[in-house]
Structure 1
Amino acid sequence: MTRGSTVDFAARAHALDAADSLAPLRERFLPGPGVVAYLDGNSLGRPLAATAQRLERFVHEEWAGRLIRGWTDPLADGPWMEWPERVGDRIAAVALGAAAGQTVVADSTTVLLYKLARAAVDRDPQRHEIVLDSDNFPTDRYVLEGIAAERGATLRWIDPDPTAGVTAEQVAAAVGPRTAVVVLSHVAYRSGYLADAAAITAVAHDAGALVLWDLCHSAGSVELELDAWGVDLAVGCTYKYLGGGPGAPAFGYVRNGLQEQLRQPIQGWMGRRDPFTMGPGYLPAPGIRGLVSGTPPILGTVPLLASLDLLAEAGIAAVRAKSVALTAFALELVDAWLVPRGVALVSPRDPQWRGGHLTVRRAGFRELLDVLWERGVIPDYREPDGLRLGLAPLSTSFAEVHDGLVVLRDALD
């Protein structure tokens, strides 16, 4: 039996891994030397062996082999010039529940968030309020504060329960005839709360407002149906559950029917209708290409292609099912081992409202980080006193969750 419990959690973890249909995919990830448990997959995904191979092939065959011709040559993944839309469509199909022609890969999440939020604020001069929440990720709040100062807009703050997240009822109380856009995270970065995107989007639309969803902690972890939900705008990073690697480019989504109504503010040559004319004035490219500004981040996109292939093979429904099972197992261990040691859960217990990570809190957790890292356990820390357990379904095993929380339990003792 596992120490401190009448349940043999080690045997449970072994049985869960044996029954896991996605377990064989774990072998495709490169191991981390000395890592007992990587519990920060919601901040940076592990690399695939195929990523290293693909990068090497790209450097030798496409970069060295085609040089500047790669921008227009019909390569395996298309000419580099087409990658913003091609890779965007791939993300849309595999992870977003969105049709083609609505998603691009470009820039960082911060830049794309600015582009889309600013365009939404400028759409209707009679609407000058931005609805946001006080517990959203700092970048989202900072960008919106900057836009409000820049455009003379008013911020309307929602103060959610920090152990949960923003509800449709709270949004309904905040929106009105002056609301330009509602900007929220689909999965709260701190608590892991999974918002009701369909209901909140409908509430905003009833008030005549647009909705911009931050999908950084959603894409590749939970099932998304942007088209079915009627989502207007969305942004997300690709280095978490989508496995694009450190600093991988972000994606932006603008639904069909809205693309010609919005004009994003960073008018770069790659978003012009005919960029190589180098002509005077800015004529935005039609469709989603108009969201592009500068040269596409080709090299930074290569790892993402390998990870999207794996996600497509697994299927997002199976990924979500395993994510729920992983967090449920982790929750059992938290209740059995950590709660008796003064640790509090600050994430939803109901999997319907829980994304891909759990957050636990106890005073002094920051001081434990060095101890955990020395023992091969890598969680994520967030103020105040919170450890996030980010469990990536494609690369995390149940035994890894067990072994990591054993080390955390013993460190607390």
Structure 2
Amino acid sequence: MAADSHRQVRALEWVCHSPSHYNSQLFAVLSRELGIPFRVHYTEPASVRHPWRESPVHGHTHRVYERRWGVDTTLLRLLRSDPDRALVTGCWQDPTSELAILHLAARGRPVLLFNDTPDPFRRRGLVRRVARSTFLRLAFRGVRAVLAAGIPAVEAIASMGCPREKLVNFPYFVDLVQYPFRPNPDANELIFGTCGRLHPDKGVDLALRALASHRARRFRYLVAGDGPERGRLQALARELGLADRVEWLGWLEAADLPRFYQRVHYLLHPARFEPFGVPVVEAMASGSVVIASDLTAAAADRIRDGENGLLHAAGNADSLAQAIGRAAETPAGERLDMARRARDVAEQWPPSRAAAILRGLLKLEAAGAAAL
């Protein structure tokens, strides 16, 4: 069995929860640049949280789980029958992934785990805590690496018992062509924006309360997204006297997002907790200065307060109001300088860097075209 650890990786299987436009951008690049056959196994055909009209799947070979007795036997048979296949999974609690991780790790075959920042507020019962701790101890011991989505995730997963030498910083990447740098040059009216699902965790209610304290200023607030909180948030905007300042844009398709970011001077991402926060990195690439909570992992990872964005205390509307006040008083030239510095950070993490990291971990040769 130990001989498997010396075999050349000739194909990579990746387990992902459901399709998204972000994932498709990354997977398309990996398909082109890894130089070996690459396939994605989605545990679900679509995300109920993201009602895209256009299919987010493009540019990569994929399939959807077909479960029997609670597991996808197709993937398990594939991994058992071909010792030259490696696995990356972002679904640690998926029974299929758990079986695959234990099987491959016991044989010294390459397994990589992917995870963003775990929720520090989540509570589990005793039995689940013990079972999870036991599984993670075995998994961390046997896998080749754990891909952590940014430095906050690196630190959180290290605290869960993962050896630091196995942790690899693998944050969310941004397509710099799809999101060109085009900041809004209009200085007559400040435009704030938020992009994401309207859920209590996202903190849009905090943004409304913070903006209400600046009613004397001239501004608009564009809310791109939908979700269970929309009605309550619209009522709150009316209560705060902001009904004529807020535009509810609804859910935007991927093709509309670059134009949205280019409209807003400041992207507000006041999450009470956010495991990463893709809108943060998309906005930084596009020229919108980000104002985000310190429990938004992407912001903690990428933003240096006052240099390339602004941070505020999570869950605190007064702290957010202070950050908005700082933004409103920032001259247009200084805001543009902040936006340029944010773009510089975004340019450090193109999707091609993800492919390079994986090639190094899997000990692959230079990239070349490959197809399943």
User: TM-score, structure 1 length as denominator?
Assistant: 0.27
RCO higher in 1 or 2 (8 Å CA, sep ≥ 6)? 1
More helix by share: 1
User: TM-score, structure 2 length as denominator?
Assistant: 0.29
